[in-house]
Amino acid sequence: MVGMLLGMRHALEPDHLAAVSTLVSQERGAGRGALLGVCWGLGHSVALAGVGLTLAFAGRQMPPVMADVFELGVSVMLIALGVRALKLALRQGGEGPAAVHEHGDLRHEHPGQHPHVHLGSRVFALRSLAVGIVHGLAGSGALTALVLAKLPTAASQAAYMLLFGLGSICGMTLLSGLAGWPLASLGRHPLAARAVSACAGALSALLGLAWGVAPAGRLLS
């Protein structure tokens, strides 16, 4: 059970929250939010299992340079997600694009609702899965892989990996599902939806910049 609890705690780390907040803010609804959490958790578990088993069978630890590369990858992804959310917020008008109406010879415009484009289920799942994979390779996910390499038996390694993965999936599913619920209501108001997307994007980009300073410095030196 310790592995499962650690997995749930791992899902609440700042880089995970920042990445998921940008995704949930664009795909509103408790169901879509929960699906995002499941895909993120699966991707995280797949990455962790791949690295952990490789290290366990090789009897080696992850090289520090590789760990820094993974950390820098998280930084780049957080910045990219943040910039994307900011661009979407800037493209949305306060009340959406104007709609042209004609009444006889009179022609005028009314503010219209901004169309919300939902990703297809397959693209949505693959994007969330990719975000989870990147996070699974970095941070305490990578440190957990080092722990796996030191566990005494293959059975204990597999059990720890399974419980940690289940904890990550449960934690992120619950978190993103709960976040999607109020966002579904906010999404009905263009200004509120725009503000949420902009705030999530700005926080993700800023955290990404801060996250990448240390690994970038070590790699450059």
Per-residue model confidence as pLDDT tens digits over 151-210: 777 777 778 777 887 888 888 888 777 776 676 666 667 777 788 888 888 999 999 999
Q: What pLDDT sits at residue 60?
A: 73
List, for residues 21-38, the tens digit of each pLDDT value: 777 766 656 677 778 888
Distance spanning both ends of the chain, measured CA to CA: 40
Q: Kindly report the average pLDDT of the chain as a whole number.
A: 75
For residue 115, the model assigns a pLDDT of 44
Span 66-104, pLDDT tens digits: 888 989 999 999 999 899 888 888 876 554 444 555 655
Pairing of strands 106-111, 98-103: antiparallel
Show me where the domains of the chain are located: 2-93+120-220
pLDDT at 146 over 90: no
Residue listed under structure tokens 């009444």 = 103
Nearest alpha carbon to residue 187 among 99, 89, 91: 89
Contacts (Cβ under 8 Å, ≥6 apart) of 219: 65, 68, 69, 72
- Kindly state the tokens that stand for 142: 């990578």
Residues facing residue 107 across a β-bridge: 102
Cα 120 to chain centroid distance, Å, stands at 17
So what's the pLDDT on residue 214? 92
Q: Averaged over 126-151, what is the pLDDT?
A: 74
Show the CA angle centred on residue 40, arms to residues 62 and 146, nearest 5°: 20
pLDDT at 209: 94
Please write the tens of the pLDDT for every residue from 3-19.
567 666 666 677 777 77
Per-residue model confidence (pLDDT) at position 97: 44
Structure tokens at 34: 């929960």
Q: What is the pLDDT of residue 80?
A: 92
Q: Which of 38-47, 111-120, 192-201 has the weakest average pLDDT?
A: 111-120
More confident call, 216 vs 101: 216
pLDDT over 70 (residue 215) = yes
